[in-house]
Structures are given as structure tokens and as C-alpha cells.
Amino acid sequence: MTTTQLHQQILEKKSFLCVGLDVDLEKIPPHLLKEEDPIFAFAKAIIDATHDLCVAYKPNTAFFEAYGVKGWVALEKIINYLNENYPNHFTIADAKRGDIGNTSTRYAKAFFEDLNFDSVTIAPYMGRDSVEPFLEFDGKYAILLALTSNRGAADFQMTESQQGNLLFEDVLRKTQDYKDSDRLMYVVGATKASSLTEVRKIVPDSFLLAPGVGAQGGSLKEVYKYGKNELVGLLINSSRGIIYASNGEDFAEKAREKAKELQEQMAELLG
């Protein structure tokens, strides 16, 4: 999937919503636990109930790895279900991977070839040769952590260099020089909307994935105001706020309502 196609989807659906699939067996409706594969059953119901309101789905791999082989099987089923039934959705493996060159190539193959995700989130700490192996795949994207939405982001990402740049700004700037950097997107937390002006000065054209709207307190309007570009260039992620709106029999319906609320706000912003 290309960013042009993603932009097209955003315009058609009047939505730049990404639904985060952080499936936690302790939080899903108890009646699903008697299903053969409760993780998949839950994710499938959420997807079926929200697909027309969002343009992307983002399973966080941690929630699947926590269940070992069973979790990995469920993740495979989910990405296959998405690719078969909703091929126009942009899929993100939220894995935050990154390793030395030949090892990053392994991760890239795992997520792009074996699982056939459109994109994967990666961590920038190890630099160029840990990132570039993810950029070698046509129609696939690496979404690099730049400025995250958690409190700990201040520990290193906001460190100012001798040259007067914050570390996350250096990450944006330097990675733009990497080979095939047009296949890079960036994570910029919605809780840091005011920083988006600086971000856009450095990466005017890149798509940004913004977690933190809703549960973490970020404002959709602010993110749109400071973060949008000519292709809209934003994916706003919401996970818990949507998928755990109810843990009763009506969970999918309630998830749809929450997704619909966000989609309607987005439609208004898109005009």
C-alpha cells in the first residue's frame, strides 16, 4: 500500500483514525473467553464493527507475545483476516524493533513478508544500519519512534545537543538522509501537539502516527492543526478508548460508537 492510496482512503472515509488492537484477555468481555481463540474472536469483532470508520489497524505485538505461541497464532490470524477482508486498510505491526543490520533484516522479513503487514514501528537508538533494512521493501513503511507520548519520553528524547537540537529533532533530521527515507513515517505523540510545528519544519511530507488521543489526554483538534500536511499526513491512534468501551455483550457496538465519535470529529476537521 502506498501513501497516495492511504491518502485516498482518508478522503473517502473522512477519517484518519487508526484503531489499536491491544488485546488483553483480562479486559475483553468475559463471555468471549469460552471461544476457541478469544484473542482472535475479540479482534475480529472489533474490526468488523469499525472498519468503515478507520483507515488503519495497529496490533501491538507485546500483547500477543505475552501469550506465547497462542498469541503469535492469533496475530497471524488477525493480519490474514485484515488482508483478506479489508485489503485497503493500512496495517501497522507496533513492534518497536531495531537491531544491527543483518538482524533488522530478519525482523523486516518477519513483519513484511511472513506476516505481510504494511508497516512496522521501529526504535531509532541504533542508527542507520538498524533502520535501513526496513526501508528496502516496496510499498512497505517503517514508522520510527521520534517523540513518544509517555512520561519517560523526556528522559532522552528532549535532551538538547551542543548544536541546540533536541534528540527527537536529530532523529527526524538524520533519518531523512537514510536510503529510501520516503518509506519512513514517524511516531509523534498526540500529547505533544505543540511540538508538531517543529516536527513539520523538519519532515513536512512524512506521515505521522500519533498515539495518545483519548486515554492519554491528547487533543485531536490540536494535533490536526499543527500536524496536518498536504496528504493530511496523520494517523491518529486510539486503542483502549475504543476497544474497551464496554466489556459486555455489546462491546463491538460500543467500540463502534467510540470510533464513530472520533471519525465524526475528523470529518469535521477535514471539511
Residues that bind a copy of itself in the complex, under the rule CB under 8 A: 22, 60, 62-63, 65-69, 72-73, 76, 94, 96-101, 103-104, 106-107, 109-110, 114-115, 123-131, 145, 148-157, 159-162, 167, 170-171, 174
The three cell numbers of residue 81 are 483476516
Q: At closest approach, how far in Å is the CB of 4 from a copy of itself?
A: 30
Contact at 8 Å (CB) between 60 and 24?
no
Cβ proximity to a copy of itself, 172 vs 245, nearer residue: 172
∠ CA 116-212-260, nearest 5°, is 75
CA-closest candidate to residue 171, choices 183, 182, 159 = 159
Nearest distance from C-beta of residue 231 to a copy of itself, angstroms: 27
* CB atoms near residue 126 (< 10 Å): 15
Amino acid making up residue 255:
A
CB closer to a copy of itself, 69 vs 230: 69
C-beta of 62 vs 267, nearer to a copy of itself? 62
Residue 64 Cβ vs a copy of itself, minimum distance, rounded to whole Å = 9
Please say which residue, 211 or 233, places its beta carbon nearer to a copy of itself: 211
Instruction: Give the shortest CB-7-to-a copy of itself separation in angstroms.
Output: 28
Q: Which residue has the cell 457496538?
A: 253
- CA 58, CA 21: separation in Å to the nearest integer? 6
Looking at the Cβ atoms of 27 and 221, the one nearer to a copy of itself is 27
For β-strands 56-59 and 119-122, DSSP reports them as unpaired
Q: Dihedral sign for Cα 140, 145, 148, 152, please.
A: positive
Count Cβ atoms below 10 Å from residue 226 Cβ, excluding itself: 17
Q: Is 7 within 8 Å of 232 (Cβ atoms)? A: yes
Catalytic hit among 14, 77, 96, 260: 96
Question: Smallest distance, Å, CB 186 to a copy of itself?
Answer: 13
Determine whether 96 is an active site residue.
Answer: yes
List residues with catalytic annotation.
96
